[in-house]
Amino acid sequence: MSENVLNVEEPKRSLNFIEQAVENDLKEGKNNGRVQTRFPPEPNGYLHIGHAKAICIDFGIAQEYKGVCNLRFDDTNPVKEDVEYVDSIKEDIEWLGYKWENVYYASDYFGKLWDFAVQLIKEGKAYIDEQSAEEIAKQKGTPTQAGVNSPYRDRPIEESLDLFNKMNEGVLEEGSMVLRAKIDMASPNMHFRDPIIYRIIKHPHHRTGNKWQAYPMYDFAHGQCDYFEGVTHSLCTLEFEVHRPLYDWFIDQLASDDYRPHQYEFNKLQFTYTLLSKRNLRRMVEERILTGWDDPRMPTLVGFRRRGYTPEAIHNLIDRIGYTKYDGVIDIGLLEYAVREDLNKRVNRVSAVLNPVKLVITNYPEGQTEKMEAQNNPEDESAGTHHVLFSRELFIERDDFMEDAPKKYFRLTPGNEVRLKNAYIVKCTGCKKDEDGNVTEVYAEYDDQTKSGMPQSSRKVKGTIHWVSTEDCFDAEVRLYDRLFMVENPADDGRDIIELLNPDSLKVLQGCKMESYLKDAKAGDKFQFQRTGYFCVDRDSTADNMVFNRTVSLKDSWAKAKDK
C-alpha cells in the first residue's frame, strides 16, 4: 500500500515555496548538497489530519530531494506525554506510507542541552530568576513598551550555576525558580525579552524517569536538536515565524561551525466543521463525548482510518491544497470529495438495505430462486462480478415505496415500474398496512423478459432501486456518522464546544439487511452500498453482529442544505 501512495502519478504542478527554497540551497551548494528534515511531534496525543499535512511536507521533501527525514519526539514536558502516543504516532506515519530514517527524542539531548545552558550561564547570557510566573509575565511589557528587568538579572554567575544545579536535584518546588536567557527586555520581538529556557517539573518522564527535574522549554530545545542532528530544513507552522529569530540566536551561541539549520513556516491546516487541536480532542475523549481517540468522528488519523478514509485520499487532498504563507480554512467538503473519489475507483458495490420493508413479487414462483450477476465496480472492469440471489420476497428501502407519490417520484408507487438492480423490471401493485397505517409489505409483478443482460432489458424505466433477497441476507448494525460540529467555524465561535456538537453526528441502525456476500468481510474492508454511500466494517464486529461505519455518503448533503 505504501508504495502505491508514493508512486501515484501526479500531474506536474509548480513548486511550492519550500521546494523552491530547497532547490535554491541545492543550486548554491549549501550544506554540501544535503537535505535533511524531521517530523517533531510532541507525544501528548494522537495525530490529527493537520499533522498529516506536516508529515507530507517533512517526509515528502526528503523523498523528493533524496534526503533524510527523521522522526523526533519532542518530549520536553513529561506531564502530558506517554508511550501510548509514541506508538500510535509511528503507526500513523507508516499508514500514510512514510518511513523515517532514525527515531530520536528531544530527551536524548537533555545532557547536551544542560551543558549548553551551563555555557550560557558562564558566559553571562543566562540567569536564575526566583520570581513567580505571574511576576515575570507582568514585567514582559507590550510590543510597543519595553519590559522591566528582573531583580535577579545581574546575580553572580556562580550563584546561578549553583541554583541551576539545585533546580535539577529535586529539592526545589515547581515554579520556585526558572532559568532565563539574558537577551534584551526592550527587544521589539517579545520572544527576546529574557525568555524562560528551563523550568522545574517533578513528574517522572516516560523515558528518563526521575533523572531530570529541570526541563528545557520548547524554544530552547527545538532548534538545538535540529542542530545536533544536522537538520537542514526545519519545517513548521506559521505561528513559529516569530520564534525564528530566537531559534537562530540560540544556534548562533551554540554553533562552532558554519552549518545552520534553517526554519521555514507554512500555513496550518484547518477545516470547516472541525476542531484540530489536541487539547480539544483530548477533552472529547476524557469527558467521554466520543468513544476514544479512534472514534470515527475524530479528525485523528486513527479515527479517519476506522471511519474508512484512505491514505490515498488524504495525500490527494493535501496535494491539492498545497503549502502557503497565509492561514485559511478549507471546506471539509473537499476532504469528503477526495475520499469519495478514491473509494469510487476501488471498492466493490454491494446491496444493503438500511431501513427495510418487504417486497413480494406476486407472480414470481414460490420456492424459485435465481443467481443474478452483479458487477463489482463499474469503474474497474478487472474487479469482476459476484452473484446475488433473487427470490420472490425481497427487502427494499422503505423510502423506495410511496402509496401516494408526487409526480416526479420514480420509485415504487402503485402502477409505476422500476428496475430492480441487476434483476427485473417490476410494476408495483399495492401494499399491505397494519392497524396504524404503516406499510408492512409492498407488492409488485415482474416482467420475465426484462432480466438484466437480456436483449429486451434495454427497455427503459426511470428508476432503479436496490434490494436483497430475504433468503440470502443477514442482519447487521450500521453506524451513520456525520460531522461532529454543527457550526462552520467551531474554533472561532466563542461558545463552549459542547454546545456546538451536532446531535446527529451518530445514528445507529439495527436490523439492516445485508447481502450475504458481505458475511466474510473483515474489519477495515470497504464497500459502496449502492445508492447510499461508502461503508467499512468496524472493529466492533463479531460473528453474530457485524457493524458497518458510514465513511461518507454518496452525495454531499451539507452542500445542498446550505444552498437552501
Name the nearest CA neighbour of 480 among 330, 352, 314, 292.
352
Establish how many alpha carbons lie within 13 A of residue 168's alpha carbon, considering only the half-sphere containing its beta carbon: 18
Pinpoint the alpha helices (H) of 139-243.
157-167, 218-229
List the grid coordinates of 499. 454546545
269's contact among Mg ion, ligand ATP, none, with CB below 5 to 8 A by partner kind, is ligand ATP
- The residue type found at 540 is D
- Cβ-based nearer residue to Mg ion, 48 or 260: 48
Site size for Mg ion, by CB under 5 A?
A: 1
Sites for ligand ATP among residues 226-265 (CB under 6 A)? 236-237
Interaction of residue 50 with ligand ATP, rule CB under 6 A: yes
The span of 11-19, 275-283, 298-306, 380-388 binding ligand ATP (CB under 6 A) equals 275-283
Interaction of residue 218 with Mg ion, rule CB under 5 A: no
Establish how many alpha carbons lie within 13 A of residue 213's alpha carbon, considering only the half-sphere containing its beta carbon: 17
Q: Maximum distance among all alpha carbons in the chain? A: 101
262's contact among ligand ATP, Mg ion, none, with CB below 5 to 8 A by partner kind, is none
- Cβ-based nearer residue to Mg ion, 43 or 67: 43
53's contact among ligand ATP, Mg ion, none, with CB below 5 to 8 A by partner kind, is ligand ATP
Q: Could you give the string, one character per residue 17-46, with x where binding to Mg ion holds by CB under 5 A and - elsewhere?
A: -------------------------x----
Interaction of residue 54 with ligand ATP, rule CB under 6 A: yes
Residue nearest to ligand ATP (CB): 50
The span of 122-130, 268-276, 495-503, 550-558 binding ligand ATP (CB under 6 A) equals 268-276
- Cβ-based nearer residue to Mg ion, 126 or 275: 275
Interaction of residue 199 with ligand ATP, rule CB under 6 A: no
Interaction of residue 278 with ligand ATP, rule CB under 6 A: yes
> Beta partners for 68?
36
Instruction: Tell me which of 51, 199, 340, 483 binds ligand ATP, using CB under 6 A.
Output: 51
Give me the least distance between CB of 8 and ligand ATP, in Å please. Answer: 21
- Cβ-based nearer residue to Mg ion, 42 or 445: 42
- Cβ-based nearer residue to ligand ATP, 78 or 533: 78
Site size for ligand ATP, by CB under 6 A?
A: 15
502's contact among ligand ATP, Mg ion, none, with CB below 5 to 8 A by partner kind, is none
Give me the least distance between CB of 284 and ligand ATP, in Å please. Answer: 13
Residue 155 burial (C-beta neighbours within 10 Å; 0-12, 13-18, 19+): middle
Give me the least distance between CB of 215 and Mg ion, in Å please. Answer: 14
Interaction of residue 40 with ligand ATP, rule CB under 6 A: yes
Complete DSSP assignment for 463-527: EEE--EETTSEEEEEEEEE--SBSSS-GGGS-S-GGGGB-TTSEEEEEEEEEEGGGGG--TT-EE
- Cβ-based nearer residue to Mg ion, 236 or 444: 236
Rg of the chain (C-alpha set): 31
> Beta partners for 145?
142
40's contact among ligand ATP, Mg ion, none, with CB below 5 to 8 A by partner kind, is ligand ATP
Give the Cα-Cα-Cα angle 59, 61, 67 (nearest 5 degrees).
Answer: 85
Contact between 73 and 38 (Cβ < 8 Å): no
Contacts 24+ apart (CB under 8 A), 236-239: 236/40, 236/54, 236/263, 236/264, 236/265, 236/266, 237/54, 237/265, 237/266, 237/267, 237/268, 238/265, 238/266, 238/267, 238/268, 238/325, 238/326, 238/327, 239/265, 239/268
> Beta partners for 534?
528, 552
Place of cell 415504487: 412
Q: Distance between CA atoms of 426 and 416, rounded to whole angstroms?
A: 8
Instruction: Tell me which of 19, 42, 64, 130 binds ligand ATP, using CB under 6 A.
Output: 42
Sites for ligand ATP among residues 86-145 (CB under 6 A)? none
- Cβ-based nearer residue to ligand ATP, 218 or 228: 218
| Per-residue three-class SS string for 135-167 | HHHHCCCECCECCCCCCCCCCCHHHHHHHHHHH
Give me the least distance between CB of 201 and ligand ATP, in Å please. Answer: 17
Give the Cα-Cα-Cα angle 543, 548, 549 (nearest 5 degrees).
Answer: 145
278's contact among Mg ion, ligand ATP, none, with CB below 5 to 8 A by partner kind, is ligand ATP
Q: Distance between CA atoms of 228 and 256, rounded to whole angstroms?
A: 12
Instruction: Tell me which of 37, 53, 336, 529 binds ligand ATP, using CB under 6 A.
Output: 53
Sites for Mg ion among residues 40-99 (CB under 5 A)? 42
What's the start-to-end Cα distance of the chain, in Å? 41
- Cβ-based nearer residue to ligand ATP, 58 or 312: 58
Interaction of residue 269 with ligand ATP, rule CB under 6 A: yes
Give me the least distance between CB of 283 and ligand ATP, in Å please. Answer: 12
Give me the least distance between CB of 416 and ligand ATP, in Å please. Answer: 51
- The residue type found at 13 is R
Site for Mg ion, rule CB under 5 A: 42
Site for ligand ATP, rule CB under 6 A: 40-42, 50-51, 53-54, 74, 236-237, 268-269, 276-278
